[in-house]
Chain A
Amino acid sequence: MALIEEPVALPAGAPSAPSTVKKPLGAFTRPKNPTGVVDWLTTVDHKKIAIMYATAAVLFLLIAGSAALLMRLQLAVPNNTLLDGDTYNRIYTMHGTVGIFLVVMPIASAFANYVMPLHIGARDVAFPRINAFSFWIYFTGGIMLNTSWFLGGAPDGGWFNYAPNSGVAFSPSNGIDFWNIGLIIVGIGSLTGAINLIVTVLNMRAPGMSLMKMSVFVWMILVTQFLLLFAIPVITAAQVLLSLDRLYGANFFNVAQGADPLLWQHLFWLFGHPEVYLMVLPAFGIVSEVIPAFARKPIFGYSFMVFSGIAIGFMGWGVWAHHMFVSGMGPLSVSAFSMATMFIAVPTGVKILNWVATLWGGRIVLNTAMLFAIGLVIQFTFGGVSGVSHALAPADTQQTDTYYIVAHFHYVLFGGALFGFMAGFYFWWPKVFGHKLNEKLGKVHFWLMVVGFNATFGPMHILGLQGMARRMQTYDASMGFNRWNLVATIGAFILGIGTLFLVVNAIYSAIKWHQAGKPDVGPDPWDARTIEWSIQSPAPAHNFDVDPQITSVDDFWYRKYAEDENGQLRQVATGAELAQPGNGEGVHLPAPSYWPLVLAIGIPIIGYGVIFSAWLTIPGLAVTVVAMYGWLMEPGDDLDDVHHGDDEHAPELVAATAEGTE
C-alpha cells in the first residue's frame, strides 16, 4: 500500500530502514485529527479533494455561464447596446478561458480523483500531498485569473489570444498578463496532477489487475493525463514567450523585428488540439461505465474501446493545424492536416458504434444517468460530424471564425463533455454522498438541458453558414440574423436554468435524505459492474478494507453473476452480500498537511509580483520557499508505523478473507 509519498528531492520523513535517523527536522508538525474547515484545508484524501475540485468547478461555472448569458443577451436583438465592444471582448475571452481551464478540466479531475483510485483498488493516489497541491494551485490560480476583472480589466484577446493582437500595442491593459500568468499557475496543477495520476494508474493497481483488466474509464483517464503531461509544457512555453514580450519587451511576436506571429498559432494549437481531446475523453470514460451498467451488458468491444482511446491520444497530436487552414501556411500542410483530421474521426466513430452496440439488445434502464449518457452519444455525434466538415479545407475556409465553429465545439464540449459529466454525477452520487439524486428532478434537469442546449447551439449552425462572424459584438437588422439569434438567446436561458438544476437537485435530495433519517442506500444501489460498488456508500476514508483480488474486467459483476449449466447468467450473490464492511482498523492513512495550501498561496503572489511590481515577488518567494522546505521537512506520517507490507493492514480481515477463499 503505497500511501506515503516520497517527495521528489528530499524525503525527510520517508519510512526508513534503521540506518537513517527518524527524528523529524525542526518543529514542522502535521495537523492532528483536524475537523471542520481545517480538515478540508489540510486533507490529502483523494475523495475529499475530488469533492473540492467539483465544487470549485461549479463555482467557476457560474462565472462562465453568466458570461455566456450576457453575450446572448447582447446578441438577442440587432444593434443592441447592452455591452460595448471592449466589455464584450473581455466577456467572451473569460467565458472560454474559465469554461475550459477552470470548469471542464477540473470536473474531469474531480472524477479522475474520486473514481480512478476506487476503480483500480488503491487506497489513495501515489502522492497524496501533491494531489492536494494540484487542487489548491488550480483554485488559487483560478481566483488570481478572475481578479483581473477588478484589477484593470479581464483579458480581451479571445481564449487563444492570437499574436500580435495579444501584444501590448493592441491590448494595453493587464488582462492578457493575468491570462498568461494565471494559466501558467493553473498549468502547474495540471502537470503535477497528471504525473500523480499516471503513477497511480501504472503503479498502484490491485493484485491481478493487469492493464487490460482496468475499466475503460481508468484507461481514458490514463490517456488524458498523458495528453496533459505533454500538452501543458507547450502552452506554458507559449505563455512564457508572450509574457516576456508583454512584460519585459522581448521580440518573439514583434513583426517589426521580423518575427513570425504564426509561431503563436502553432504553439497554441499544438497544445490546443490535444486539449480538446483531454476535455472529452474523461466524459467518454464516464459514459463507457454508465452505459454498460444501465444496459445491463458488458461494454461492446472492450479492447476496441481502449485502443481507440489510445489512438485518439496519439492522433490528437497530428491535427493541430486544422485550426489554421486560413493562416496561409501552404497547400501541402493544409492537405496533410486535412487528411489527418479525417482519420481521427475513425477511432471516435468506433467509440460511438461500440456504445450503440452496447445498448443494442440490452435491458435498458432509462434513469437520469443513462439519459445523459445517451444525450452525449447523440449530441457528440452531431458535433463530430460538423467537425469532419472542418477537415475539408475548402469548406473550412468558409466556416472559420463563424458561428458554425461555435456551434461545433459547443456540441462536443457541452453536448459531449458536460453531458457526460452530468451522467457521472448522477451515477456516482450515491457512492460519494450515500444517497441518490432525485430522479424526477433529474429528468426535468435532463430535458431542460437537452431542449436548451439544442435551441442555443443548433441555430448557430445556420447563423454560421449565413456568414455571422463569431466574436462580433453586434449585427445589423438587415443581415438576416435576427430570428435565429433570438431563438439561441431563449435557448441559452433554458439551458442556464437547466444546468442550475444540478445544484437544485443536490440540495433538494440532501434535504429529503436528512428528513427521511439518512436511509442507507447500500453499497451497490445500481447493481453495477466495477469494484467501487463493493465498498460501503459513502466510500470509507480508507476505501478498501483489504486489497481486492481482480480476475476480470467488471470484476464485481462476475462475482455477483455466474453462468449456470445452460449458459444463462444467474445471480449468485447480491452486491450487499459481497461488499466489504468498511472496517478500517489497522489501516494507516496519510496524515493531512498544511503545506500544499501554503505553497499554492505563495505562487500566485509571485504572479502578482511579475505583473505589478517586483517587490511583491519577495513575499511571494518567501512563502513559496518556506512552504517547499516545510513540505520536505515535515515528519513523514509513518514514523511509528514503519514498513508495513502490503497486506499487513487489518490483519484479522486478511485472515478472514484468506480463510473464506481457501
Chain B
Amino acid sequence: MSDLALNAEHVADAHDDHGHHSSLGLSNAKLAMWLFLGSECLLFGALISTYLLSVANFIREVVAGNPEVIDTMGVGSPIMAEIAEAHSVEPMFDIPFTSASSFILLMSSLTMVLAHKAVSEARYRESRIYLGATLFLGATFIAGQVYEFTAFYREGLTYTGNLFGSAFYTLTGFHGVHVSVGLIMLGSLLYLSMRGRLQQDRAETVELVGLYWHFVDIVWVLIFTIVYLIP
C-alpha cells in the first residue's frame, strides 16, 4: 500500500506531465518532441550531404568548362566566370546580408526562451510581447530569405538551371519551410494567449514549440557555416 501512496505522491509532484505516471520522469510530449528532432537531424543530414556533393560536382564541371553547365546562369554570365576562377560558389553570396539575417534568427531564440520563462512565471502580458517578438524576428528572417532568393534568381540562378541552383534552393528552402511552420505554431500560441488559454499550466506547450524553434535555429547555424562561410 505504501508503494501506491508513494507513487501517487510522485505523480502529484510531477508538474509538467499532467498527473500521468511516467517511467522516465519526463513528460510524453517532451520525449516525443526530442525524438522527432532526432529524426529531423537525419533529414537535414541527408540534405546537407546532398548539397555538399552537388556543389562539389557543380564546381568541377564549371572549372572543366562543361558547355552544358557553363551557360546555365545566362550566356557569358560574369558570376560563372568568378566561380570558375575562385573554384567555389562564394562569389554568389552576400555574406554581410546573410550574417545579419542569421543574427536576427539567433536572437529569436533568446526571445523564445524569455517567452517560455514568462509563461511559466505567469507574467502573461510579457509572454505575449516575447512571443510576438519571436514571431516578428522569424518573419524577418523569412523575408530576408525571400529577398535573397529573388536576388539570386535575377542573377541567373534558377532552380532547374544547374546542380548548384537545385541544391541551394532545396536545402535553404527546406529550412525556410521549417521556420514557416514554426511561425504558424508561434502565431497559434499568441492567439491562444490573447484568448487567455495559455496559462502557467501550459508552459510546457511553449517549451515544446521552443524546442522546435531552437532546433531550427541550430540547423541554420550549420547551414550558414557550411553553405556560406566555408564554400
Contact = CB atoms under 8 A, between A and B. Distances in A.
Interface of A: 1-12, 14-17, 19-21, 25, 126-127, 191, 194-196, 198-199, 202-205, 207, 209, 229-234, 236-238, 240-241, 244-245, 248-252, 254, 256-260, 263, 267, 270, 547, 549, 643-648, 654, 658, 661-662
Given A229-B38, A251-B160, A252-B163, A647 B8 contact: yes
A2 B162 contact: no
A283 B22 CA distance: 28
Interface in B185-201: 185, 188-189, 192, 196-197, 199-201
Contacts of B69: 257-258
B158 to A, nearest CB: 9
Given A2-B22, A252-B167, A126 B1 contact: no
Contact of A643 (B19, B28, B35, B162): B19
Given A233-B43, A250-B160, A259-B163, A10 B205 contact: yes
Which of A230, A645, A658 has most B Cβ within 10 Å? A645
A230 B19 contact: no
A5 B45 CA distance: 30
B8 A662 contact: no
Nearest to A263: B53
Nearest to A210: B23
Contacts of B196: 21
Closest 3 CB pairs of A and B: A2-B20, A237-B46, A258-B61
A14 B18 contact: yes
Contacts of A202: 23-24, 31
Interface string B213-231: 0000000000000000000
Given A229-B39, A258-B60, A258-B61, A10 B189 contact: yes
B143 interface: no
Contacts of A20: 197, 199, 201-202
8 contacts: A4-B20, A17-B201, A234-B42, A234-B43, A240-B170, A252-B54, A258-B66, A646-B11
B29 A15 contact: no
Nearest to A198: B35
Given A10-B188, A251-B166, A662-B1, A191 B39 contact: yes
B95 interface: no
B42 A241 contact: no
Contacts of B45: 234
B61 to A, nearest CB: 4
Given A234-B42, A257-B68, A199 B57 contact: no
A19 B47 contact: no
Contacts of B46: 233-234, 237-238, 267, 270
B26 interface: yes
Nearest to A209: B23
B27 interface: yes
Contacts of A205: 23
A230 B11 contact: no
Contact of A2 (B3, B21, B166): B21
Contacts of B185: 9-10
Interface in B45-93: 45-47, 50, 53-54, 57-58, 60-61, 66, 68-69, 72
A276 B46 CA distance: 20
A209 B165 CA distance: 53
Given A202-B31, A233-B39, A252-B163, 6 more contacts: A195-B32, A251-B162, A258-B163, A267-B50, A644-B19, A646-B8
B150 interface: no
